[in-house]
């Protein structure tokens, strides 16, 4: 029988395995941070209500104590209400399904709204209720903030 001889690559193999583990952990951490930042962008800030809403515009109001009327407010009246709202040619404000009773309000001067089933939501344009569409009908429309607001 021959002598037992240790493999000269033993330390190199351990170093490669250690490097692979470190790289795997780095990928997991980067993926988790990206996921949390994506999910966190749709959720309200701490201390706010559970209703998603857009940031108010920078224009000062005549009476600071007067409540502001949103340009568009969407209230879900079904179990699932697919809603898409964006600033024309710009940012998408919401593109997801709302749950029953959930609301979304936006104060931008002009908005494009798309409802997959117009009968499942109640829409308020500048505080005025918009008539609901027939069941299953897709509606796309634009809303401009009224000059008096």
pLDDT beyond 60 at 118: yes
Q: How far is CA 87 from CA 35, 71, 127, in A?
A: 24, 12, 19
Q: Is 86 exposed, middle or buried (0-12, 13-18, 19+ CB in 10 A)?
A: middle
Q: How far is CA 104 from CA 17, 124, 125, in A?
A: 50, 10, 12
pLDDT beyond 70 at 133: yes
The model's pTM is 0.54
pLDDT in tens, 47-91: 444 444 444 444 444 555 556 889 999 999 999 999 999 999 888
pLDDT in tens, 16-49: 999 999 999 999 999 888 888 777 655 444 444 4
What is the rounded radius of gyration, in angstroms, for the C-alpha atoms of the chain? 26
Distance CA 95, CA 58 (A): 24
Distance CA 138, CA 84 (A): 11
What residues contact 144, with CB distance under 8 A and at least 6 apart?
Answer: 71, 109, 110
């Amino acid at each position: 029988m021959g002598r037992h001889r240790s493999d000269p690559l033993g330390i190199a193999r351990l170093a490669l395995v250690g490097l692979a583990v470190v790289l795997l952990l780095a990928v997991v951490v980067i993926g988790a941070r990206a996921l949390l930042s994506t999910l966190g962008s749709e959720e309200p800030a701490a201390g706010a209500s559970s209703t998603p809403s857009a940031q108010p515009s920078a224009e000062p109001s005549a009476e600071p104590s007067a409540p502001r009327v949103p340009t568009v407010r969407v209230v879900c009246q079904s179990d699932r209400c697919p809603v898409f709202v964006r600033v024309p040619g710009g940012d998408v404000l919401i593109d997801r399904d709302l749950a029953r009773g959930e609301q979304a309000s936006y104060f931008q001067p002009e908005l494009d709204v798309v409802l997959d089933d117009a009968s499942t939501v109640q829409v308020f344009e500048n505080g005025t209720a918009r008539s609901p569409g027939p069941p299953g009908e897709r509606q796309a429309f634009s809303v401009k903030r009224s000059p008096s607001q």
